[in-house]
Structure 1
Amino acid sequence: MKARPGATPAPEGAYPALSQPSYSLLSARSPGGGRKSLTTATASCPSALTTPPAWLKLIKPLIDQLLREKHRHWGVIFVLGLIVAAGCASAPPDEEIPSAESYYRRGLELLEGQRVFLFFHDVNYPRAIEYFQEVIDNYPYSDYATLAELKLADVHFQQGHYEEAASYYQDFVELHPTHPQVPYSIFRHGMCSFEEIGDVGRDQTPTLDALAQFRVLLDRYPNSEHADDARVRLGQAIDQLARHDIEVGDFYYRRGDYYAASRRYRQALEMYPDHSERVTTLVRLGRSLMGLQLYAEAERIYQQALDARPPGGLRNNDRKELREFGEDLWNARKEAS
């Protein structure tokens, strides 16, 4: 390369010719003659090793001119500086790690849902479950992890997944027996079974499970804010179980099997003495005993029915059945004598 007028010629070989300018230089000479590694130059900005941005093409003529000058090492350093600066500028900032509280509150916000077309309420349950699970997995010793466990049970309950919800509520009670939300968990566990109660003619396992949970709640936490609701549900579960036995007794009675019918009526009275149809059950038991010609025992049952004092008082239907039963018993005794 021809030197400029007045310039001191450079020693031969001091600046080896570059066959073609390159933007992927892996090393460059420093002003002191040593070799400076690009890895060292960009250690603080790893993203500088990525493909240079498109705007470098716009200043390519300037870079070419610098690389052809006598002090081309300054041009190389300039290029490296641009690449490092571009890499640092494009490096994403460190993201703040979400806290247990932020995950938990995001889950709650999703459970609130959003209204669609003014009529439908859309709730992203899977996403809410993910947020609550993040709290449990990443912050297992946080207070929010305990609350997230309970919320997972609630989410399954709201979706109608009662078996899964019951399992979560049971785990919560066992893992946190002194937590203030234990009464709530017991009540909701009972409600999981209560929601699965079917017709009186079907299997009554869900009814028995609900009955057991409500009784546990009332025995342990009689003054809980959920106690009143539990008493109402308990009464409904008791009536369901009693009606199951009564319907079976009615079936035998219609067939004329008064002994089998009387056994079912007795079972309903002994196991569920507080069921709301106690007077009706006593009357049907008495009629079954009349069918067996056990008039003395039938009279004793008739007297119990007269003495019964249901919480809501005798219904009109109860009074009618009692009156008719008394008349039929009187006539039967009269004919037998």
Structure 2
Amino acid sequence: MTFVGNFKRAFGVVAVIVALAAAGCASNKLDTSALNPDPPSKMFSDADAMMSKGNFDDAAKQFEAVDREHPYSPEARKSIVMAAYAYYRAGKAPEAIASAERYVALHPGTKEAPMAHHIIAMAYFDDLKTANRDQTPARKALEQFKILRSRFPDSEYSRDADNKIRICMDNLAAQEMEVGRYYLNQHNYVAAINRFKTVVSDYQTTAHVEEALARLVEAYMALGVVSEAQNAAAILGHNYPDSKWYKDSYALLQSGGVGPRDDTGSWLTKAWKSVPKFGLGSG
């Protein structure tokens, strides 16, 4: 082989080595960049700035990046709940709920836990449906508001929990009444009684309890269970003496030759006494 040929061959090998070395350096730079993003404090600050500008979706993703890239940093924990809040503000309830639920699963006793429960509660509360539709959002919101009230009574997020609880309970009671009336109109009295019993047992503080007691009188009289009808009317009369529902119930009993009468052994009396009454008679 000639000198020129040897030189070309040697130059080609060197070129390959240099190219590989350069590629390796570039790869190392990329790897180093991937392993060392911005510090968590800056990433958190950037996400917070996005929130201030109303870029909630981008802020949520940035908060998630803090937790993903720096899972052991002081900012990581708060970033989870802040991502949930950003998603909530962005109108992305499923993402907000998922992020907040992750937070309470990982950090149930921390100072941001009330905020996480509040985000879950409000995401469901905003989705409340009318009485003739699925009440899953009301049930889930109610659960979270009750957690706030019982576990974090001094939290700022618990201050309006009682009002939200009442609204959720009213929705749930309204649905029970809707179904109960349907069964009553179909003369399926046992099914109707079960619905009205739920209102009286579980939702006594709602405005629907007066009608529920009156409907129990109606259903029990239709079945011939007069003693339960009398007891339901007695409870209605004791607690809502001026109610139109009591007047109707009293007239119905009178048409059957009986009147209201207490029965201390009745399920209704026991259920009524077992639940504290808030603002009874105000509804």
Question: Could you state the TM-score of these two structures normalised by the residue count of structure 1?
Answer: 0.60
Could you say what the CA RMSD is over the residues aligned between the two structures, in angstroms? 2.4
How far 1:153 sits from its partner (Å)? 0.4
Partner of residue 235, structure 2: 304
**Residue number in structure 1 paired with 2:101:** 170
Q: Which of 289, 292, 312 is the aligned partner of 2:220?
A: 289
Question: SS where residue 199 of structure 1 aligns?
Answer: coil
C-alpha distance 166-129 of structure 1, shift in aligned 2 (>3 A): closer
Q: Following superposition of structure 1 onto structure 2, how do residues 214-233 of structure 1 map, counting pairs within 5 Å?
A: 214-233=145-164
Q: Match for residue 39 of structure 1?
A: none
Which residue of the partner structure matches residue 238 of structure 1?
Answer: 169
CA–CA distance in structure 2, aligned partners of residues 188 and 126 of structure 1: 16
Aligned: 1:100 with 2:31: no
Aligned-pair CA distance for 1:135: 2.3
CA distance in 1: counterparts of 2:225 and 2:157, whole angstroms = 46
Query: Which structure features the higher share of helix residues?
Result: 2
Q: What one-letter code is carried by the residue in structure 1 that aligns with 2:252?
A: D
1:238, 1:275 within 8 Å by CA — same for their partners in 2? yes
Unaligned segments of structure 2, at least 5 residues? 1-36, 259-283
Q: Is the 8 A contact 2:177 2:208 kept in 1?
A: no
* Alpha-carbon separation, structure 2, partners of 1:308 and 1:223: 33
How many matched pairs? 223
Give 1:99 deviation, angstroms: 3.6
- Which letter maps to 2:251? E
> Structure 1 counterpart of 2:73, which letter?
S
What letter corresponds to residue 287 of structure 1 in structure 2?
A: E
The question of whether the paired residues in 2 share the 8 Å contact of 1:242 and 1:268 is answered with: yes
Q: Contact 1:166–1:189 (CA<8 Å) still a contact in 2?
A: yes
1:286 Cα deviation (Å)? 0.8
Q: 1:257 to 1:176 in 2, by over 3 A?
A: closer
Task: Calculate the TM-score normalised by the size of structure 2.
Answer: 0.71
Show the counterpart of 2:249.
325
Q: 2:209 aligns with which of 263, 270, 278?
A: 278
Q: Do the aligned partners of residues 225 and 124 (structure 1) sit closer, same or farther apart at CA in structure 2, a change above 3 Å counting?
A: closer
Q: Which runs of 5+ in 1 are unaligned?
A: 1-96, 114-122
Shift in Å, 1:98: 4.5
- The letter for the 1-side match of 2:153 is P
Higher relative contact order (CA 8 A, sep 6+): 2
Residues 51-79 of structure 1 show CA distances to partners (whole Å, capped at 9, x for unaligned) of xxxxxxxxxxxxxxxxxxxxxxxxxxxxx
Tell me the distance in 1 between the aligned counterparts of 2:174 and 2:83.
Answer: 35
Partner of 2:63: 132
Q: How does 1:113-152 map to 2 (within 5 A)?
A: 113=53, 123-152=54-83
- Contact kept? 2:217, 2:233, Cα under 8 Å: yes
**Alpha carbons of 1:127 and 1:184: their partners in 2 closer, same or farther (altered >3 Å)?**
closer
